[in-house]
Each structure stands twice: as structure tokens, then as C-alpha cells.
Structure 1
């Protein structure tokens, strides 16, 4: 058996273990309000400029017809400036620009910055890893996209094939989304005892608003669970090619491959067959921190995905190169599902049962796969080429675009044609 390397396996194991604790003494920003701006309404508009100038501030745009204005302030000084401005007689009121959270009942949704980033700090499940707040709106605008579609169609959820280490039978947030399963490994059970496939699948399609756990990027989607990696995170080119063929025979609209392997003619043929039959294929770019091509991501008919963090900066672990990496998505400390039984990545890296953070382009690939599936549900009349174009052309241009990746960081809302903030 050939060991598949890169984003999904050997490198993913390293990535899952390469989490650094927050630096002591650095105060976390208040997640209850948006950093760097406040809302102010003036009694005397003529005195507004002078009142702001006293604090080194400038006038800002009106907030609709409310009479209030959005004022840019130094991050971390919001409450201090609100208090100072409130004492000025020309100010009717000054208040924080409170963070609006999604109407979701999922317990850990506030930790899912990839879907909605208000600059919130959070922790891992055990609470021993403190993750500093990032950049507000450095996310994929999933909540706004859900106003258009969650991946549901009249025929059911869009089918996303996750070719990985399986989906845990005992995680109720993701296992019920599995509509078909096949095992392409030798002598393994169908369950996920490695942990990677469950984490990836949860990022794609975990159930939303069920009071537990997390929400998937495409929460209305369903999963085709193709186990191509054994319980040590190892597979073969032939098992992956067989998994791709199985996925197409079972109605996959999107195939996610959070893994890497050396190029082979057989694998490329399977990729091209799936593309020609109408599937969108997505794969991790790899966790080498260099520009070395990883397959299947580097094949022309696959969307290769690099990783960013919660400040919209390229993850240090991410493989990159705009000549072949197509797009980026969050891949650092991404919160998702894990097995509720002992699993390899848990014992190697002290991961909690049920839910925890993970790192790597594996996570990024899963997000883009979920976005592609939502685009299918919002544009069912188009072909796979158009779906890929929607995903790539609507990405947000961030630092590294054109250098680290050809397009920007994926934006689900823009991709599905929603009203985006």
C-alpha cells in the first residue's frame, strides 16, 4: 500500500499537533462588539467635527436613517472613547457596534470563526488553548449565504463525497448526514478510528440549529462517505481512484479530497472522468509550507485550496503558489466534529472526543467543497465549469492573492449570489 502524504495524512498529523498556546499577558479583545468602530449620534451636528477632533477622530458615514454615524476608532479603545464622548453635551449618545451572531442554536458556533468572524477569541474544547481574536469579517460569509441556500434542494441535500478516513458512527452532529458509505481499505471497519474524515465531514455538512455541536459550511448537504484511508491515515492511489468512481456512481455533485499523493496516470484518469461527468472536485494544497505540488490538488480539473487564519493571513503551514493553487479558505484552529470514541489523532494530539479544533489545508478544502455544493443548489441549471467559476471568481481579494493563490479567500455569500456585508 502506498502511503498518501501531504494535507490529509502525515502532514495533517503534524498540523494537528502544531498548535501553539496563546501568549500570556495579551488581553483578548471583547467579542461582544466589533473592534475599531463605534456608533455616535450628535445633538448638534455643527459641533460633531470638533467633538471628534478632541479625541483624534474623524467624522464617519451615516448609519441609514437612524441619525447615528459609524466612527472609526483605534482597536481596543472603543469603550474608553464611548465614555469620553458621552460626556460631551453635543453628543446624544455613543455606543458599541455590537457583534451580531447567527440565529443558530449550535453550542460551539461562536468558535467557528471560519463561518462568522467578529474578531472573537475562543478556546479549544478543553480550554487549555486560548486562541486570540482575529480580524472581523475574515470569514467566508456563510451566515449570509444561508439566507439564500443551505444546500437543500427539492430532491434532498446536495451530495458531497468525502473521500477520507470515514465518518464516525457515534457523532450525532454528522453521522445522520451520511446517505451512502463504502470502504476501500483492506480489512478495516467502516467507522472512523483515525478522526480526520469525521472532522472534515463536519466542516462540510454538520447539522445546523440542532442545539449541539457545530454547523457545517453547507448544513443542508448530505455526505457520501468513501473510506479510502485506513485507521492509520494511509491509503493508496487505487483506493482513491476507486472512491472517486464510486462517488460518481452515487450522485456526487462535489468530491472533497483533503489528502495528497504522488501523481499517477490512473488517479488523473479518475479525476478527469469525474470532471467530465459533471462533478466539481476540491482538494487540499498541502501542509508543506512550500510551493511543491501535491496531487490531486495540482491536477487542472481540481480546485486546489490553501489555508488562511482568522486574520486572513496565509497559514505558515500552507503550501502555496498561484501557478497551481486556486483559492484559499480558513484552515487554522477550525472547530469541527470528531469521533466520540478513541481515535488516533486524539491520542496523538490530545484532541477531545466529539469536537475540537484542527489545522491544515484539509480543513480549508472542506470549506470550499461546502461552498461549491451550496452554489450547485443555488444554480442548479449550470454545469460544473460554471460552478467552479462562481466559486473562484467571487473570492475576496486578500493579501497573497496572485502570489500564494490565483484567486482570493472563498466567499460563500458572493458565490451563491446573496446580499453580502
Structure 2
């Protein structure tokens, strides 16, 4: 037995599938879609690399369920079978060596930059505050549009499984559309989709039911949810626990816990307080509360850096799966090194420039541009200055926006 042997134990999910160990690569937005929003060949290269990382589970970055609603210019959008051959290549690469590969499916809601849409859609016409006016004021969704979106989540999930992905994750965190429905700050509806906690969570529960019906009982279905959105009057831990209880009854196979939104991004974008960094697992206390309420498997993402801390969270029974995001950008083979005892901890460190208003952007863009390097079959460059990441990201985003083709039926 080694200090990290618990991380090597397989995990049987309620649906009958088994993860070969307890380390997962959590979702990171790769922004490696084509101009037509299909998977670029670089996604195949990137996930082939991660499939050999030693992780038991790889979760893709957010794949959008509607090509009219993109959170970033180079998101992949899956609405039908038009990109099926490349999706199959992506899934095949990600499953190399028996790794589970799940597609994360998402809709940005109001979190659509103005250069992609001036009028995004959301539960209510409540704009994103701050962010230098980067997002336009959304239009409130009509009832029939909400029903259509539920169907789109199910359709995207079905295509993912036909392409060869072994499961799907529904993104209900970080201020995207489902998260917007859950929060009383962003969902001020008074119809069957809002007005009280039960109606605010209806959208998520309807999506989970539709996805399960589409993919079948034996396919893993995961949900990623915020512990809270850290906004006064917003989605609270108590409401989150109530949602979790409903998800357990809905036969969700793995609950991933995270936190934050674009308006309160410190933990989401990797800029937490020093005390939070010191204890590594940012949301562990909330995970313990969830464990007291439900028995479904729990994955925790945010802050893990040390193998012994990861293992303690598993052996203590607090969680079942450790999620790693940014550590696997700089160290794509970190899981295998942790499992073998060759590494005690990740060497990942914050990438900041010392300007508070830019540090979150520097962190995000530095890691995203490293993903692009790996997609080009290059090694991550630990020496790259954060300002270089910002410049490369801004340049690519500007060019991609100019080249973006008009989509039919723009919102």
C-alpha cells in the first residue's frame, strides 16, 4: 500500500459502468472548434495525449447544444450528425487504453460576448454585471424555446454516445444557462420555470430526464453544479443541496461540485484567496454536506495539487473522484506520476501579472494557449509569460470572430 493507493481503486457507477481509477481530467474550454464549429483535428491530438495521462476519466470542454449560442468563437457545437466522423475520431482518441471519455454539454445563456451576439437568451432579461460590458442584455426565453432547448440537450447527448463517447456531463455550473435558471438573481420568472426553488430547478431536472431517456440506463450521466454562486441573494448552498437531492432521485451517476460565475469568478478562474489555496480542495466542506444527504458518487474539482491530499479525500469518504483541470495543462501525465509515486504533487503555480483586474484573464488565457500548443503536438511551455498568453488569445479571438460564418436563425 502506498499513500496514494486509494486513487488507483476502480469506481463502479450506479449505471453499471466502471472508472478504472479515481482521477479525472475535469472540463477545460479548449476553444479548438473549426469555423463551422465542428471538432478540429487538434482536439483529437490533445485528447490522445490526455488518454495516455493515467486518468480514469476525461471530460471534454463545453460542447454547445445550439450553434446560435456560443460562449467563445471557437466552441464546438453539436446539433446533428454533420460532424459525426470527426466526433468519432475525437472519442476514439480520448478512449485510448480504456479511459472513459464524457462529452460535457452546455448552453451559455446570457454569457455570450457581444461580438458573437448582441441579444443572447436567458431565463430573464438580466444582464451580466461588470466584465467591462462584454455581454449584452439577454432576451427572456419563451416557454416553447425552453422546451426546444431541453430537446437540444438530449439530442446532443445522443449524438455524443453514437460517436463513441462513453458518457455525458450536463454543465449546470459557472453561470451558464442552467445555472442561470437555478439562481433567483438571474431567474425572475413567475411561470412554471421560476418563482420558487422547485420551479427554478425544473429546467435542470427536465434536461436530466430527457438526456437519460436518450442515452439509456447503462450510460453514465453526470451533472456539474455550483456549491453556490457567491452572490448576495443568489444560488445558495441550501438550494444547491436541495437540487442535489433531486438529482440523486433522478439517477445521476456522478455529481461534480464546483463554484463561481463570471460575476464572482475567483474560484472558477483560479484566483482564490491564499487561505483557500492552502487547504487545496476548495469545496470540500460542501462535498461533506452533500455526502451526508445522498449516496451518489461525488467528484470534486478545484485546488487539488498534492497526491496525499487527493488520497485523503478519497479514503476519508468525502468524495469518490478527484478532478484535475489546470494541473493537467502544464503536466499532462500528472495522474500516472501521482499513481506510480513518481510525483508527490503538481508543480502548477498561478500565472499572474500583478494587476488585479487582469490576473483572472492572465490565468485563463495562459492555460488556454497551452492547450493549443498540445493540440499542435507541442509540449506545454512553462516559461511563457502571462502577457504572451493574453496577446495570443486576443489575437486568435479577434480573427476567429471576423471569420465566424453567419449561422441560420441567429438569436
Give the TM-score normalised by the residue count of structure 2. 0.32
Give the TM-score normalised by the residue count of structure 1. 0.31
Q: Which has the larger radius of gyration?
A: 1
